[in-house]
Homo-oligomer: A and B are copies of this chain.
């Protein structure tokens, strides 16, 4: 058995946790039966950009079922800073080359891939091969084929896979799902979803580089519109058409600036969405037979706000990322539902591809045959 590290010992004893993974890690093969169940899973963040820095790492200080156990970065200075700030020993610090050694670290149960989109597939598969559960940031990958490879790798390695859809754990969002599922206002007839912000920053940022991002607003914010169109109706769309608009081609050289799309859903439901890197808008509106539900903002990191035709919605405001990571850890520890499984990310990428195809074909309607793929009830 791998020698237990000082920090691991301190962490696990200090938090009342036995320092071994219960699932998928190398320590399982060593015959440690009869150990008490692990209560808090160790998470390694792969990629220490702003999302890891300002959202995930702070959230991991408040999580109940997982904690920040390791980091993976290509920048030695970041490793040093994070190691000091979060008390992460060198043994739990990796770079992109030696990342696969994480297989030998029993403290790391979950790998959270927070890299540019083009690296999601590689690091998800490497994490799975290392026997680690994976959360992969949205959009899940560059295309559907990559999603398939990632899902297969996780299935083969018998590890869990989740997409970084924090809103699936967020209370306003879950209230929308509940009201829709219960038909509180009757059938949903129309859903409108905008997810957009004005990008004016560094023209060399990876999001503007199609090789790294795979696309622009649609890949980044559009998946929120797709997600909310689906949880706002409780159904996958059966068709989509789409249009692309370009007003600042000098800035958005390779990636889509603004995209609108229209959906048909089973039954009497239709919808449309807008996503943009040149507009500020963050809204969901669900129009039902006898009432409506609205979130604004609907997908910001900041506290969401919502109301219905019956009045305002009020929920405790907590870190969405905290709720999300705890939900995934609970899924592993307690077999609660995986609220954002790989199938959901793949489904959304199928829709993304159909949107790009419709744009290429001048707005032609694309039929979708998704069944209930990715729908978690």
Contacts and interface: CB of A to CB of B under 8 A. Distances in A.
Contacts of A192: 192, 194, 274, 281
Interface string A261-280: 01010011110101010111
A203 interface: no
Contacts of A243: 241, 262, 363, 365
A189 interface: yes
A21 interface: no
A272 B289 contact: no
B274 A245 contact: no
A367 B362 CA distance: 14
A287 to B, nearest CB: 5
A285 interface: yes
A364 interface: yes
A287 B280 contact: yes
A195 interface: no
Nearest to A258: B270
Nearest to A282: B287
A270 B241 contact: no
Contact of A363 (B245, B248, B364): B364
- Provide the main secondary structure of the chain A interface: strand
A274 to B, nearest CB: 6
A245 B260 contact: no
Contact of A268 (B247, B269, B274, B287): B247
A198 interface: yes
A269 B289 CA distance: 32
Given A363-B363, A365-B362, A274 B190 contact: yes
A292 interface: yes
A198 B194 contact: no
Contacts of A276: 189-190, 270
B189 A279 contact: yes
Given A198-B189, A247-B267, A283-B285, A363 B278 contact: no
A245 B264 contact: yes
B260 A272 contact: yes
A71 to B, nearest CB: 37
A209 B268 CA distance: 22
30 contacts: A189-B198, A189-B276, A189-B278, A189-B279, A189-B280, A190-B196, A190-B258, A190-B274, A190-B276, A190-B279, A192-B194, A192-B281, A196-B287, A241-B243, A241-B363, A243-B363, A243-B365, A247-B269, A247-B270, A248-B268, A258-B270, A260-B262, A260-B270, A260-B272, A268-B278, A272-B272, A279-B287, A280-B287, A362-B362, A363-B363
Given A192-B274, A243-B363, 6 more contacts: A190-B194, A190-B281, A248-B268, A281-B287, A362-B365, A363-B363
